[in-house]
A and B are shown apart, each in its own frame.
Chain A
Amino acid sequence: MRPVALAALLAVLAPAPARPEGAPEAPDPQFGVALTLGVPDGAVLAGVWSPWHGLLLDAGFAYTLSPGIVAGVTFQPFQWVVVPSIRAEYGHYFTTDVGEKIKTWASVPPELQPFIDQASYSWWSGLLGVAFGSRQGFTFRLEGGVGWLTLYVKGASATIPPPDNVTVTIGDTRFTGLIPVARLSFAYYF
């Protein structure tokens, strides 16, 4: 591991400075910001609010193929330098033209390309994870779990010239799936 990366990791894992004997326990910050990278989340920039000890509510803006929103609730049962977490999440990506990106990434056959244009997706997920760092400052959390994904691809119609000479009209296609989900989030509390 590179020295800089090691130093950063140690800084995160280091426990908060010991408070003087008799001094009141430092309260946890109630607000924070988080940057998350994940599947199917994409990249998410969220605000975090902790209304109660161990409970974190977050909501933010996301981006993968299109802009979206992601909201979740996370429970971290106790405070320590390494803490297990459990999370429930909902996300939605708004309808957008994904044609070119899908064609590039998924090697869609040419005859199917006219039918992939507007799409949106949403998901619910449950995740287990582990959080490192201090709620007094910076933390990062690694999570994995299962998700229920729903993807809508808007229908389209196209005429394929001779020799096929067919007109194909496809309604909105719905894709659903039980999928693995994973996310890595960095949060700073203040």
Chain B
Amino acid sequence: MKRPNPTGPAPRRRASALAGLLVAAAGCGGFYVEAEQPEACITQNAVEIPVTVQGVSGSFSQELSYDIGKWFPDLAGATASPDRIVRFLRLQVKVPAAQVGVYLDWLGTFDVTLLPAPGSALQEIAVLRYQKGPGRQLITELDVPSTVSGQNLAEYLQQGVVHFRFAGSGQGVLPAGAWVVNVGGCFYAKVRKGLGDVLR
């Protein structure tokens, strides 16, 4: 099918304006790539946590480390900026599947505290607190949301690793010997890099 060749100045002006916008976009902002992970959970399986027993009560304090940088290599640097964001979303505590008949009912309360690097000027941050509700029984899994889920914790990464202190107490049917549990930390991560850095 064929048709004649009409011409007109208006489309040319519109094209020129669009061309100008394209050139400006290419020259001003710079090229970049951004990766966003809404939720990544790293669970340490079968962690042995010593419990100090005093009569019918017990307490524990254990340091946990999550190597986020291993799974998100671009987070290995420890600086917080709009280009590098790490947020702690929640902690999951779960009885390993092999431990049939073991429950978390004895666990009355625990706190999770984010630890800065040794010698750092940063302060410890309490990131969540769990308190057992009344009447809860036969608990095999806990999912506790962070109280600081909006805060950028990238500065707390040490070579990509973030360190927490997991401490609490309880009473009742206490674990015999060490408490074996799966402990998972869930994180939000976002990294933005210049295209040149990505290609390098």
| A contact residues vs B (CB 8 Å cutoff) | 25-31, 52-55, 75, 77-79, 86, 109, 111-112, 115, 126-128, 145-146, 159, 165-180
Contact = CB atoms under 8 A, between A and B. Distances in A.
A30 B22 contact: no
Interface in B146-195: 182, 184, 195
A161 to B, nearest CB: 10
A167 B96 CA distance: 12
Given A31-B1, A53-B5, A179-B33, A75 B184 contact: no
A74 to B, nearest CB: 10
Contact of B11 (A27, A54, A128, A168): A54
Contacts of B45: 159, 165-167
Given A28-B5, A30-B1, A179 B31 contact: yes
B41 interface: yes
B29 interface: yes
Given A168-B40, A175-B35, A25 B5 contact: yes
A86 B19 contact: yes
Contact of B6 (A53, A115, A146): A53
Given A166-B44, A177-B31, A177-B32, A146 B5 contact: no
A171 B39 CA distance: 6
Nearest to B5: A53
B57 interface: no
Nearest to B184: A167
B27 to A, nearest CB: 10
Interface of B: 1-7, 11-12, 15, 18-19, 21-23, 25-26, 29-46, 70-71, 73, 182, 184, 195
11 contacts: A29-B1, A78-B12, A128-B19, A167-B42, A171-B40, A175-B33, A176-B34, A178-B195, A179-B31, A179-B33, A180-B31
A121 B30 CA distance: 21
Given A86-B19, A112-B71, A169 B5 contact: no
Nearest to A157: B41
Contacts of A115: 71
Given A54-B11, A165-B46, A166-B43, A30 B2 contact: yes
B43 A167 contact: yes
B41 A78 contact: no
A77 B12 contact: yes
B26 A146 contact: yes
A126 B35 CA distance: 22
7 A-B pairs with the lowest CB-CB distances in the bound complex, closest first: A27-B2, A177-B33, A167-B43, A30-B1, A169-B41, A77-B12, A171-B39
Contacts of A175: 33-36
Given A77-B15, A86-B15, A128-B19, A52 B6 contact: yes
A111 B68 CA distance: 12
Contacts of A28: 2-3, 5
A170 B25 CA distance: 33
B36 A111 contact: no
Contacts of B18: 86, 126
